[in-house]
Every structure is written in C-alpha cells, then in structure tokens.
C-alpha cells in the first residue's frame, strides 16, 4: 500500500468521508421526500445543475469505477421523482404525446443496452445527454404543474439567466486580471474567441428573452419584462454563438409575427431603445472601448465562410457520418448504431471523434429512423399546439406561445448543437399542456352530448345545458 493510500485511510479521513456520504444521502432523501409534495423541486434541481455545469467548464465527478457527475445524480433523482409521482397522479397512458415520448425513451434504452454489451462504459458516456434530456421531458410531462408552480418555475428561469450572466462577468474579469488561467479552465488558446458561457447556456437565456419580449409587447408582463428582454438579448449577441444568433432571430421573428398588432403601440419605445443603443455604441467605439469586442464579433461572423473554420469542419463531419450510416445494414438505418459506437471520421487527415454537432444526425446515428421520428413527432406536436391553441387566460397564452416559440427556435438550434435537459423539460411541460387541453375539450364534448333512450334510441335529454 503506497503512502497516498495510507493517508486516505487515516481515521480522520475515514470519518470525514463517512460524514460527507451520510450528509449527502440525507440531503438526497430529504429532497426526494420534498419532491413528492412539492412538484417544482426537481425542476429547481435541473436549473441548479445547469448553472453548476456552466460554472464548472470541467465537470467535477466522483470516481467509483466510473465517473459520476452532478447531473447523473440530479437526473436519477428526477427519474425517481417521476416514478414515485405515478402513485399520486394518474399516468397519461392513453395520451399519444406521452406514449410517443415514452417510446422514444424505450428506443434510447435499447440502444444503450446493446452498446453496454458491445462497448462497455463508452455507451454510458454517449447516452448521458440523451438520458438527461429524456428524463427531464418525462417529468415535465407527468408532474401535473398548476399555474402557481409554472409561475414559480418562470421566476427561477429568470434568476438562472442572471446567474449565467454573473458567471460570464466573473470569468471575463477573472481571465483579464489573470486570476483564472484561461487555458487551464477552458482548454482553449488565448487567441480563440472567449465565450465564458457555452451555447446551451446562451440559448437558454435567449429563450427566456423571447418570452419576456412577448410579454412586454403585449403589456401584460411585469414592469421588468422589457428590461429582462433587453439584457438577455444583448447577452445573447455578446456571447458570439452564431447558431444561437440564428435560432434566436427565428424565434424573435415569430414573436413579432404573433404580436404584430401590438408592435405599433411599442414602436416608439423600440425605436428609442435602438437609437440609444446606437449612440452608446458609437461613443464607446470612438473611445476604443469596443475595439476588441467588435473585432471578435466580426471574426466570429466571417469565419462561417472559412473553408478551414469550425463550420466547414462540422459540415464535412456531417457528410462523412451520414455516408457511413446510410451504407449500414437495414437494422442500423431503423434503430441506429448502439451507444458507444463512437463518431470517428477524418478531416484533413486528422482523426475526429467528437459528436457531430447536429442533433438530427446524432439521433439517426444512435436511435435510427424510428427513434428520430418518435422524438420529432411529440416535439412538433408541442410546437404546433403552442402556436395555435386557443387559450383561456393571458397567463395560459404566454405559457403556450412562449413554449411554442422556444421549441420552434430549438428545432433550428438542433442543426448545429445537441438538445439538453432544459429543452427536454420545456418539451415535457408543453406536452402536458397539450394533454390537458385535449382532456378539457373532450370533457366539454362529453358534457354537451345528448342522452339517448336505451329502448328507442331517441334523444331524451342533454348531459349539460347547451
């Protein structure tokens, strides 16, 4: 036994480790008990884990034969909360949106089991983001949130956005002052464009901005809705994720289309905001304060057309992975390669092994045509429902339209990035709204249906007043 192992097995170290494990277990049990009574606790944990993931660019983990990350524990907790919730709330087993989402999970689990047999722990590494997203969607679909719950979740999302902005500000200052070593923390050279918050975090902020933009245009949000929208959209631009820009622009265009009759009322304020922002930008540029930011924004935009840039590398990878998949046997076309198969391809003579940065292609590779359809069908159903459903209140309108616009933007986002558990949770909540609306409409139709005589078959009354 070496010296380091002996140090770990001292009585003090063992006592500390046992205490830590006991406290962690007690905390998990307490949170689990609370989640059965308070339905929003798992969503709060997902948001907390999301902020933690952004802050720790290199995720902390516990080594127990395999690496256990914070989001592993959180997602397992959310899954258990969903399963236990079945004892308190009826399972929507007769509703097609839920069944489609459940079937998508089954195809994912089958691919994982096969991959575990063929590739071992590598299957677990690849399935993680799929599992996180699906579990969050499952819980959002079955939790049965009421209006108070959803309002609380909405406030938490705003706080999470400001937390992400604070993390970005911290890293900007820390890197500039030398307090944080950029290469050590972010694994990137100092010459690269610095994005302290990744694409997932930036897209989340953009999605919340879209909802607050809608509320501000309608004049039905809080007095801070306009400021939230302005801050969050500005943050989205500054983070310089080009694919997020495009997805957010599509979402913003849809918001303006939906709320076009409210635009004239807000036109003066929007024009004043644009002019003020232009003036401030011009003054800051004249004094040289924005030279570096401007250079990086221009560089970020121009490199999209660079044959040696990241975009060209991604497209080349998509083509090579697509060609290998399309030439595979029929069962692979329908159900994909098992998790753990990897994404190996060549680019300019260099072996590339990371994921393809295209969620649609990633779905085809891992769950095949069947799994991809099972994912897209409930997602598209949620989008169409959110954008078209007749709502009963202003809150219901903002919820449905906000989810519809956000998920529509996510379909654009998936062209360049994978999905993640916050989008999964939003999808689940949107599906729950769809299921609730269908049940409500069915109940109304049943209430207005005629009562017929069991003998003559003639109408003898109505179940409710017409």
DSSP string of 399-461? HHHHHHHHHHHHHHHTTTS---HHHHHHHHHHHHHHHHHHHHHHHHHHHTSEEE-TTT--EEE
> How do beta strands 345-347 and 67-68 pair?
unpaired
Residue 212 has pLDDT above 60, yes or no: yes
In 88-130, DSSP assigns E strands to none
Main-chain phi, psi angles of 346, to 5 degrees:
-110, 140
Distance CA 326, CA 210 (A): 37
Distance CA 397, CA 148 (A): 15
Q: Which residue has the higher pLDDT, 127 or 296?
A: 127
Compute the residue count for the chain.
466
CA angle (191 as vertex; 280, 184 as ends), nearest 5:
110
Q: Evaluate if residue 309 carries a pLDDT over 70.
A: no
CA–CA dist 254, 384 (Å, integer) = 13
Residues 403-419 pLDDT 10s: 999 999 999 999 999 99
Vertex 136: Cα angle to 135 and 138 (nearest 5): 60
φ and ψ of 347, to 5 deg: -140, 115
Residue 464 pLDDT > 60, yes or no?
Answer: no
Quick one: pLDDT at residue 24? Answer: 63
Q: Is the pLDDT of residue 207 over 90?
A: yes
Count the Cβ atoms, other than its own, within 10 Å of residue 108.
23
| pLDDT band (50, 70, 90) for residue 252 | very high
pLDDT (tens digit, 9 = 90+) per residue, 428-458? 999 999 999 888 887 777 766 665 656 565 6
Note the pTM of the prediction, 2 decimals.
0.85
Judged against a pLDDT cut of 70, whether residue 261 lies above it is answered with: yes
Alpha-carbon span 200 to 247, nearest angstrom: 12
For 34-86, strand residue ranges (E) read: 62-63, 67-68
pLDDT value, residue 8: 42
The pLDDT assigned to 282 comes to 73
Question: Lowest-pLDDT range, 111-115, 294-298, 422-426?
Answer: 294-298
Alpha-carbon span 187 to 419, nearest angstrom = 23
Report the pLDDT averaged over residues 204-214.
97
């Amino acid at each position: 036994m070496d010296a380091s192992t002996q140090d770990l097995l001292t009585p003090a170290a063992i006592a500390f480790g046992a205490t830590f494990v006991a406290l962690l277990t007690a905390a998990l049990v307490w949170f689990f008990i609370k989640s059965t009574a308070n339905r929003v606790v798992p969503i709060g944990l997902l948001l907390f884990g999301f902020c933690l993931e952004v802050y720790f660019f290199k995720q902390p983990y516990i080594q127990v034969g395999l690496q256990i990350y914070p989001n592993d524990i959180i997602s397992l907790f959310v899954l258990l909360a969903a399963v236990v919730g079945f004892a308190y709330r009826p399972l929507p087993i007769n509703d097609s949106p839920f069944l489609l989402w459940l079937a998508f999970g089954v195809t994912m689990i089958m691919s994982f089991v096969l991959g575990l047999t063929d590739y071992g722990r590598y299957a677990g590494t690849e399935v993680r983001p799929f599992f996180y997203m699906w579990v969050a969607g499952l819980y959002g679909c079955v939790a049965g949130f009421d209006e108070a719950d959803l309002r609380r979740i909405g406030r938490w999302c705003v706080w999470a956005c400001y937390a992400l902005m604070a993390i970005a500000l911290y890293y900007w200052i820390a890197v500039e002052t030398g307090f944080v070593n950029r290469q050590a923390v972010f694994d990137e050279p100092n010459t690269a464009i610095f994005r302290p918050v990744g694409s997932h975090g930036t897209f989340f902020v953009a999605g919340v901005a879209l909802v607050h933009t809608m509320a501000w245009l309608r004049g039905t949000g809080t007095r801070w809705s306009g400021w939230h929208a302005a801050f969050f959209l500005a943050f989205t631009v500054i983070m310089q994720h080009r694919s997020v820009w495009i997805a957010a622009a599509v979402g913003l265009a849809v918001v303006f289309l939906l709320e076009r009759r409210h635009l004239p009322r807000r036109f003066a304020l929007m024009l004043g905001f644009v002019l003020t922002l232009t003036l401030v930008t011009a003054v800051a540029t004249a004094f040289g304060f924005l030279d570096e930011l401007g250079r990086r924004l221009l560089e970020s935009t121009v490199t999209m057309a660079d044959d040696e840039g990241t975009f060209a590398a991604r497209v080349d990878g998509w083509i090579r992975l697509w060609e290998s998949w399309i030439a595979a046997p029929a069962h692979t076309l329908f159900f994909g390669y098992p998790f753990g198969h990897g994404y190996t391809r060549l680019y300019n003579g260099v072996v590339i092994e990371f994921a393809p940065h295209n969620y649609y292609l990633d779905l085809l590779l891992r769950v095949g045509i069947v799994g991809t359809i099972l994912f897209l069908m409930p997602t598209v159903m949620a989008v169409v429902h959110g954008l078209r459903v007749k709502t009963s209140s202003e809150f219901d309108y903002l919820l449905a339209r906000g989810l519809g616009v956000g998920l529509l933007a996510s379909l654009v986002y998936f062209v360049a990035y994978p999905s993640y558990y916050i989008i999964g949770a939003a999808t689940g909540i949107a599906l729950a709204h769809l299921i609730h609306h269908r049940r409500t409409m069915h109940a109304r139709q049943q209430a207005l249906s005629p009562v017929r005589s069991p003998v003559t078959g003639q109408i003898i009354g109505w179940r409710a007043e017409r």
